[in-house]
Amino acid sequence: MSTGLNTVMLIGNLGGNPELRETRGAKKSVCNFRLATNTSKGQGEFRKERTEWHPIVVWGRLAELCTEHLITGSKVWIEGYIQTRKWTDKDSNPRVTSEVVAEKVIFLDVKTTELLATNMMFESMIPGLEELLTKSIGEELSVSEVAILVTEYVSNYTKETAEAFENAILQSSMKE
């Protein structure tokens, strides 16, 4: 018996703000948004661009984070799988939808980049900070959750460094 592969990796921009809702029975958070990806073929005057729109579904805490931090135009990296489901619309018509279920969403916006740039100055001073940052981004934590996690880590080295880091984070978040 052979095994199939259903993996999707996309980098694109949101076509609208994420819409958050809760499921009726299980009270699970779910958000939906459309992601635009662009491709081009040819060169020079023969170059043609094409935009493809992908419906994205995100579940649980990650759905809440997407709703908190993403807006129309936000650039994200999505990893997940394609799911096809059947449903009935409000006029009782049967429908079929294919969508990307995101298991991982990486925010590629400027504010995330600014936070990482702020952290760069501390990486050379404190061993293990770069590894902690990489791990926290992989866990898709919010900017403030990362700030708290790193501040606790830094405070183990020196109180002065922790205070400097907190001030840098506060200044960075005021730019948002």
Q: What is the CATH number of the domain that holds 44?
A: 2.40.50.140
Domain co-membership, 26 together with 85:
yes
Range of the domain at 155: 110-174
Instruction: State residue 80's pLDDT score.
Output: 93
Which of 59, 75, 107 is the endpoint of a domain?
107
**Residue 13: inside a domain:** yes
The model scores a pTM over 0.85: no
Domain co-membership, 27 together with 99:
yes
Dihedral of CA atoms 14, 78, 134, 166 in degrees, nearest 10, equals 20
Domain total for the chain? 2
d(CA 83, CA 56): 10
Check: CB of residue 141 under 8 Å from CB of residue 151: no
Check: CB of residue 130 under 8 Å from CB of residue 154: no
Residue 9: CB atoms within 10 A of its CB come to 10
Which one, of 69, 62, 76, 65, lies nearest residue 34 by Cα?
A: 76
Section 25-37 average pLDDT: 92
Which of 48, 80, 107 is the endpoint of a domain?
107
| Ranges 36-40, 43-47, 55-59, 70-74, most confident | 55-59
Domain co-membership, 86 together with 116:
no
Q: What percent of the chain has pLDDT over 90?
A: 38
**Secondary structure class of 48 (helix, strand, coil):** strand
**Residue 2: inside a domain:** no
What are the Cα distances from residue 56, in Å, to 23, 73, 141?
Answer: 16, 14, 19
Which of 48, 81, 107 is the endpoint of a domain?
107
**What does pLDDT average to over the chain?**
78
pLDDT in tens, 99-136: 999 999 888 875 544 544 444 444 444 566 666 666 66
Domain co-membership, 121 together with 167:
yes
